[in-house]
């Protein structure tokens, strides 16, 4: 399904109901200082407007703009453990998206496209008060609608919102995607387009599998599983919200007019496969706690300290005969051992760890009720001589933990075994 | 609210030492038992970069849209205010930062030069009641639509004065990079002293003259709301600054408070303007359209009409009035290298004004300086003289009005 060559222009907007043109919410990432990047975004928006679409553009700032501000705040925090999150959010929101959104609006006006910039607050993005990683609770985009009715593009600062008290909040990582999806839901947009530097959602990481192809369609569940399994371009939380509100998401490359990937409720019949993609994560480590007493709450005693330190153990955790194994991101290993060891000692358990592992997952809605996917995965790994350390599954995902030295070979073998290199779209 | 003070500080986001200085200032007030509202102004360089980017990306537009430009401009204070709050918290001083809109600063929608229409500082009051310092981003507000606006020049001073008024505080402290308002430019008059008090009217008259001074707009608003302005040097060892008040204390009353001067001026003279309705208007009207500001207009008709402009505008001003002058059967000429010397003092009102004018002219005559033009208001007498010798004139006047010694 790799797109060769691009269409020369955007397809024209449909006119649902016949009375008003279609509405797109588009999400872009730009850096304040990158004029060329901003111009490219402006042209991209213009081509949608020229195609007859009404457009809401959610703009996320790229990290470097706010990194400098956070550094300053850390220099000034004095004796405090960390700068106060409320004031930090004010910094992040002003220095990042608060600056890029008006600049994009000005750039659009400069090429003859009427545009209005809005902060998250002005766009009606209401959040809870968890500064630094706030959750959107409600979106009331009255002013965005007004701008659209006047024929303007609404340029909304992504990644930020405000509490009922009008305190500025930021949404945490990938908050820009969440802003776009929520706006698309509230405005009943025809589509939410997420523009990135990659061509779409791929069947595997191209660094490892050069023949990986772009999926034309993927289901919400698959996109979520892939995001957690380490394949970039889909942020699980944003996809979850899109599914909840049935917003079609469209991952598109910013640099070309290639079709990218649509995230939808139902993948068209002819594209359905047992497995849609192979994801992997290297730099995985395993922490094993042995001799955990078999009583209620023992697991909680171990995990609670991790939660308190803000460490998420996105991985396999299973208890078998007093053994508890968790998979962690290798760079976090030392910190996690430091947290979990005292708790384990207190329970009378012991902690060991193992590094140099990788996590390989195959994901596909089609594996439900289709026999033999797991067997084919294990056989494929065996054929390339890769030993499986542990296994975990969900309804649409099978994950194997393997040694790191041969994991890339394993990913390539799985990609071929499930027929992903030559799928027709 | 007892012991409440409103302070205004200017600081640049990148200037850590300047920031530390501001925290210490605020902490000192808190340690002395005050509740503090700190209004923060950012220095220009923080937003200059963003404005430059806006100009690069604006494409075919003559200038970037004012509404979006205001969103960019407001980010200067939106960044410095939370940084100041974080710094205070680091020193153990409870503090909370507010944007202009959060502090309840409501404005009209004149982007880039908005006027405050109302102040509802509920959240500021709540923070103060909780024992926190309220750190407010100056220079910015929001319309009823929650569009961000900026207040134009002196915006931070204006925020501070209006907050003081809304909070019922009688005096607003404005920290400045100079020692206070002086009796003359110290480069010309080494004996020039810092005035401990100055009236609003005097401050407004002096504002146009090149002496260090808050923007006239902030002074006007202070006068309107009867808020005293205490200009305080940001440096600790630089004295107590100047208080701008409605009425000077008795011991501070004097016919003349300061001698101001301004050079870089030119004069246009039209030899004959008939004494008929519209004569002066015909001459001066074309200048407004060119954005040339005119002062010290002299016309005792029928006869000649003269006015002063900035030297850089002189040639354009001359060209602009020539057609009208010819139509009146007259001709226009110009002179450059002129200096305006003013004696300003609330005490010259009424009878003593005549004495002040006479003494001013006599002093200049004794110094051998010819007066080109004279203009006056209730509390100011201005003489236009040639540039050569103007420093001598300023020194002589400073001495003649007893300003050399307290």
Burial call A272-284: b when 16+ CB within 10 Å, e when fewer: ebbbbbbbbbbbb
- Does the beta carbon of A34 lie under 8 angstroms from any beta carbon of chain B? no
Do residue B91 and residue A87 have CB atoms under 8 angstroms apart?
Answer: no
**Across residues A90-109, what is the average pLDDT?**
89
Alpha-carbon distances, residue B51 vs A264, B68, B100, B150 (angstroms): 41, 10, 20, 14
Residue of chain A whose alpha carbon sits nearest to that of B14 = A72
B125 contacts in chain A (CB < 8 Å): none
Q: How high is the pLDDT of residue A7?
A: 41
In this model, does residue A315 exceed pLDDT 60?
Answer: no
Residue with the two structure tokens 């709050």: B85
Q: How high is the pLDDT of residue B6?
A: 96
Q: How high is the pLDDT of residue B351?
A: 58
Our CA-based measurement puts residue A390 at a distance from the nearest CA of chain B, in whole angstroms, of 47
Query: What is the helix, strand, coil percentage profile of chain A, to 5?
Result: 35, 25, 35
In this model, does residue A1 exceed pLDDT 60?
Answer: no
Alpha-carbon distances, residue B168 vs A270, B4, B96, B158, B363 (angstroms): 74, 9, 20, 15, 46
Q: How high is the pLDDT of residue B15?
A: 83
Q: Which of A35, A78, A102 shows the shortest C-beta gap to B71? A: A102
List, run by run, the mean pLDDT of 10-residue segments along chain B (406 residues).
88 85 93 95 79 84 87 89 92 94 95 94 96 96 93 88 94 91 92 93 80 77 93 89 90 88 89 78 82 80 82 91 87 91 85 77 93 86 91 94 86
Alpha-carbon distances, residue B25 vs A78, B19, B36, B177 (angstroms): 16, 10, 11, 14
* pTM score of the predicted model: 0.81
Q: How high is the pLDDT of residue B212?
A: 64
**Across residues A352-381, what is the average pLDDT?**
88
Do residue B57 and residue A166 have CB atoms under 8 angstroms apart?
Answer: no
The candidate with the shortest Cα–Cα distance to B382, out of B401, B366, B360, B400, is: B360
Q: How high is the pLDDT of residue B343?
A: 93
Tally of CA atoms within 13 A in the half-sphere of A118 that contains its CB: 31
A101 contacts in chain B (CB < 8 Å): 71
Residues of B with CB under 8 A from a CB of A: 13-14, 16, 19, 50, 53-54, 56-61, 64-65, 67-69, 71-72, 74-75, 78-79, 81-83, 85-87, 89-92, 96-97, 99, 101-102, 123, 145-148
Q: How high is the pLDDT of residue A425?
A: 40
How far is Cα B2 from Cα A164, in angstroms, rounded to an integer? Answer: 30
Q: How high is the pLDDT of residue A191?
A: 94
Our CA-based measurement puts residue B12 at a distance from the nearest CA of chain A, in whole angstroms, of 12
Residues 6 or more apart whose Cβ sits within 8 Å of residue A311: A328, A332, A335, A336, A339
In terms of C-beta density within 10 A (0-12 exposed, 13-18 middle, 19 or more buried), how is residue B355 classed?
A: exposed
The candidate with the shortest Cα–Cα distance to A11, out of A252, A200, A264, is: A252
Q: Which of B68, B99, B102 shows the shortest C-beta gap to A117? A: B68
A84 contacts in chain B (CB < 8 Å): 85-86, 89
Cis amide linkage into residue B181, ω under 30° from 0:
no
Q: Which position has the higher pLDDT, A180 or B43?
A: A180
Q: How high is the pLDDT of residue B247?
A: 87
Tokens, residue A4: 């060769």
Q: How high is the pLDDT of residue B124?
A: 96
Q: Which position has the higher pLDDT, A391 or B172?
A: B172
- Does the beta carbon of A36 lie under 8 angstroms from any beta carbon of chain B? no
Q: How high is the pLDDT of residue B238?
A: 85
In this model, does residue A230 exceed pLDDT 80?
Answer: no
Per the DSSP assignment, residues forming a β-bridge with A280 are A360
Q: Binning pLDDT at 50, 70 and 90, where does residue A252 land?
A: very high
Residue with the two structure tokens 């600063």: B105
In this model, does residue A395 exceed pLDDT 90?
Answer: no
Q: How high is the pLDDT of residue A329?
A: 82
Q: How high is the pLDDT of residue B111?
A: 93
Quickly list H helices, A115-257.
142-149, 175-187, 220-229, 236-244
Q: Binning pLDDT at 50, 70 and 90, where does residue A318 land?
A: low
What is the radius of gyration, based on Cα positions, of chain B?
A: 24
How far is Cα B195 from Cα B177, in angstroms, rounded to an integer? Answer: 16
In this model, does residue A172 exceed pLDDT 80?
Answer: no
B27 contacts in chain A (CB < 8 Å): none
Dihedral angle computed from the Cα positions of residues A174, A179, A181 and A183, in that order, rounded to the nearest 10 degrees: -170
Residue of chain B whose alpha carbon sits nearest to that of A99 = B72
Q: How high is the pLDDT of residue A220?
A: 92
Q: Binning pLDDT at 50, 70 and 90, where does residue A43 land?
A: very high
Q: Which position has the higher pLDDT, A66 or A422?
A: A66
Q: Which of A80, A90, A91 shows the shortest C-beta gap to B90? A: A80
Backbone angles phi, psi at A204, to 5 degrees: -170, 170
Residue with the two structure tokens 């509920």: B122
Per-residue model confidence as pLDDT tens digits over A188-214: 999 999 998 888 899 999 899 999 999
Q: What is the distance of C-alpha B186 from the center of its chain?
A: 19
Q: Binning pLDDT at 50, 70 and 90, where does residue A152 land?
A: very high
A410 close to A386: Cβ distance less than 8 angstroms: yes
In this model, does residue A63 exceed pLDDT 70?
Answer: no
The candidate with the shortest Cα–Cα distance to A69, out of A54, A87, A42, A56, is: A87
In this model, does residue A3 exceed pLDDT 50?
Answer: no
The candidate with the shortest Cα–Cα distance to A13, out of A23, A3, A25, A1, is: A23
**Across residues A149-159, what is the average pLDDT?**
94
Do residue B71 and residue A98 have CB atoms under 8 angstroms apart?
Answer: yes
Tokens, residue B369: 């300086």
Our CA-based measurement puts residue A236 at a distance from the nearest CA of chain B, in whole angstroms, of 31
């Amino acid at each position: 399904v790799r797109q060769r060559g691009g269409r020369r222009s955007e397809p024209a907007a449909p006119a649902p109901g016949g009375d008003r043109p279609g509405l797109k919410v588009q999400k872009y990432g730009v850096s304040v200082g990158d004029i060329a990047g901003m111009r490219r975004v402006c042209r991209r928006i213009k081509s949608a407007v020229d195609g007859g679409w009404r457009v809401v553009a959610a703009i996320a700032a790229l990290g470097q703009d706010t990194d400098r501000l956070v550094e300053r705040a850390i220099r000034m925090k004095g004796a405090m453990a960390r700068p106060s999150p409320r004031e930090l959010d004010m910094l992040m929101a002003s220095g990042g998206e608060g600056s890029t959104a008006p600049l994009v609006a000005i750039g659009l006006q400069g090429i003859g496209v009427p545009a209005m910039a809005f902060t998250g607050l002005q766009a009606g993005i209401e959040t809870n008060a968890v500064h630094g990683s706030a959750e959107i609770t409600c979106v009331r985009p009255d002013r965005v609608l007004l701008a659209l009715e006047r024929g303007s593009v609404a340029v909304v600062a992504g990644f930020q919102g405000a509490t009922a008290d009008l305190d500025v909040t930021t949404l945490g990582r990938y908050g820009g995607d969440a802003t776009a999806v929520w706006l698309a839901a509230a405005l009943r947009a025809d589509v939410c387009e997420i523009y990135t530097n990659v061509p779409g959602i791929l069947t595997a990481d191209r660094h490892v599998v050069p023949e990986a192809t772009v999926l034309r369609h993927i289901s919400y569940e698959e996109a979520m599983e892939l995001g957690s399994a380490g394949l970039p371009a889909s942020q699980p939380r944003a996809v979850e919200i899109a599914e909840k509100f049935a917003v079609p998401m469209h991952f598109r490359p910013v640099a070309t007019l290639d079709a990218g990937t649509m995230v939808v409720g139902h993948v068209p019949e002819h594209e359905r496969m047992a497995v849609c993609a192979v994801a992997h994560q290297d730099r995985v480590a395993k922490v094993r706690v042995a001799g955990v007493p078999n009583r209620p709450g023992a697991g909680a005693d171990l995990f609670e300290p991790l939660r308190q330190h803000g460490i998420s153990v996105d991985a396999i955790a299973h208890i078998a005969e007093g053994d508890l194994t968790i998979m962690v991101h290798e760079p976090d290993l030392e910190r996690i051992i430091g947290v979990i060891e005292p708790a384990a000692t207190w329970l009378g358990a012991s902690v060991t760890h193992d590094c140099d592992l990788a996590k390989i997952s195959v994901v596909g809605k089609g594996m439900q009720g289709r026999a033999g996917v797991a067997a084919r995965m294990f056989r494929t790994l065996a054929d390339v001589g890769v030993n499986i350390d542990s296994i975990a599954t969900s309804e649409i995902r099978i994950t194997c933990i393997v040694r790191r030295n041969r994991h890339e070979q394993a990913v390539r073998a799985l990609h071929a075994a499930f027929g992903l290199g030559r799928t027709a779209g | 609210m007892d012991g409440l003070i409103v302070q205004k500080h200017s600081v640049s986001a990148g200037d850590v030492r300047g920031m530390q200085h501001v925290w210490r200032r605020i902490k000192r007030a808190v340690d002395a038992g005050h509740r503090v509202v700190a209004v923060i102004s950012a220095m220009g360089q923080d937003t200059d970069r963003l404005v430059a980017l806006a100009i690069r990306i604006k494409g075919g537009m003559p200038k970037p849209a004012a509404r979006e430009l205001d969103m960019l401009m407001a980010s200067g204070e939106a960044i410095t205010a939370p940084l100041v709050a974080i710094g205070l918290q680091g020193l153990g001083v409870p503090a909370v930062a507010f944007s202009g809109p959060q502090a309840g600063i409501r404005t009209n929608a004149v982007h880039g030069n908005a006027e405050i229409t109302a102040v509802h500082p509920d959240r500021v009051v709540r923070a103060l009641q909780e024992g926190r310092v309220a750190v407010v981003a100056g220079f910015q507000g929001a319309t009823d639509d929650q569009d961000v606006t900026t207040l134009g020049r002196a915006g931070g001073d204006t925020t501070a004065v209006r907050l003081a008024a809304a909070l019922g505080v009688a005096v607003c402290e404005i920290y400045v990079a100079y020692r206070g308002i002086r009796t003359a430019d110290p480069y010309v008059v080494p004996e020039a002293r810092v005035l401990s008090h100055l009236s609003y009217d005097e401050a407004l008259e002096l504002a146009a003259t090149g002496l260090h001074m808050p923007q006239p707009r902030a002074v006007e608003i202070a006068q309107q709301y009867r808020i005293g302005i205490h200009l305080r040097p940001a440096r600790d060892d630089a004295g107590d600054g100047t208080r701008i008040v409605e009425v000077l204390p008795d011991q501070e009353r004097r016919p003349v408070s300061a001698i101001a001067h301004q050079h870089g001026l030119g004069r246009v003279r039209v030899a004959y303007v008939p004494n008929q309705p519209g004569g002066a208007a015909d001459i001066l009207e074309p200048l407004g359209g060119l954005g040339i500001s005119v002062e010290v207009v002299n016309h005792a008709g029928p006869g000649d009409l003269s006015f002063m402009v900035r030297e850089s505008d002189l040639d354009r001003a001359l060209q602009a009035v020539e057609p009208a002058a010819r139509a009146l059967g007259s001709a226009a000429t110009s002179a450059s290298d002129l200096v305006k010397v003013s004696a300003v003092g609330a005490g010259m009102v009424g009878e003593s004004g005549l004495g002040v004018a006479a003494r001013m002219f006599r002093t200049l005559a004794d110094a051998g300086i010819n007066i080109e033009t004279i203009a006056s208001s209730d509390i100011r007498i201005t003489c236009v003289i040639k540039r050569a010798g103007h420093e001598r004139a300023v020194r002589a006047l400073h001495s003649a009005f007893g300003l050399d010694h307290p």
